[in-house]
Amino acid sequence: MSTAVIETTDLHFSFGRFPVLSGVNFTLNEGEAVCLTGENGCGKSTALKLLIGAYKPSQGSSLLFGSSATKGDQLSRVGYVPQATTTEKISFPITARELVAQGLTRELGVFTFTRKKQRDKAEKMLRSMGLSKIIDVPFSELSGGLQQRVLIARALITEPELLILDEPISGVDAESRVEFLTLIEKLRSERNLTVLIVTHDLEEIRRYVTIDRIHRIEEGQLIDA
């Protein structure tokens, strides 16, 4: 019997008086790769925040590994790769190694800086992904494709069971998109990851990643695509 990694029941959410999602029932089982798609502004990012507990539903429930998502007690089992466009905000001088090491901040307790153990672990992760040449290169100087691979390394460094990708190839050049998606498929098979991809670039993703199910958000409803 499959184990539910994410499970929502009659999920509703509104921004004030404006409804965004209504009656959403969704299950993501262990080992699956599922796409959540829809037009820009349809509520994909809002749905994602509800699934990981960043937003509290106005009605219904969202469970993450069997626990209420809003508790946040299961987030250590989740790796998250943000939209490629958000990397433009990382303009301060931080190397690829330092950025990946930040993925280990849960290990650092009250300290806000990384220790040698975390930096060494980050270097090992980057080398394992074929990124040894850019370990000490400032993140802001990397191409969009390399930045995405570094963000994947940061997401994977805690060895998560669930990998969430939010519009992962938006704003990335064609060659880098192929390399990135090929890497996702390889990682999924090697690590038996459960993968949730939020995207409007559905056809290109399906070319390179084996997708089990596709759901689409239309007018606040979640439908099978």
Cα–Cα distance, 180 to 70 (Å, whole number) = 31
- The number of beta carbons lying within 10 Å of the beta carbon of residue 203 is 7
Nearest 10 degrees: Cα torsion 196, 161, 47, 143? -60
Check residue 93 and give its pLDDT.
Answer: 79
Cα–Cα distance, 22 to 11 (Å, whole number) = 6
pTM passes above 0.95: no
Burial of 191 from C-beta contacts in 10 A (0-12 / 13-18 / 19+): middle
Domains in the chain, start-ordered, CATH in brackets? 4-224 (3.40.50.300)
pLDDT tens digits for the chain (225 residues)?
Answer: 568 999 999 999 999 888 999 999 999 999 999 999 998 888 898 999 999 999 999 999 999 999 999 999 999 999 998 876 665 556 567 899 999 998 887 544 444 456 788 889 999 999 998 899 999 999 989 988 888 889 999 999 999 999 999 988 887 788 888 888 998 999 888 888 999 999 988 999 999 999 999 999 999 999 987
Cα–Cα distance, 174 to 15 (Å, whole number) = 36
Q: What amino acid occupies position 162?
A: L
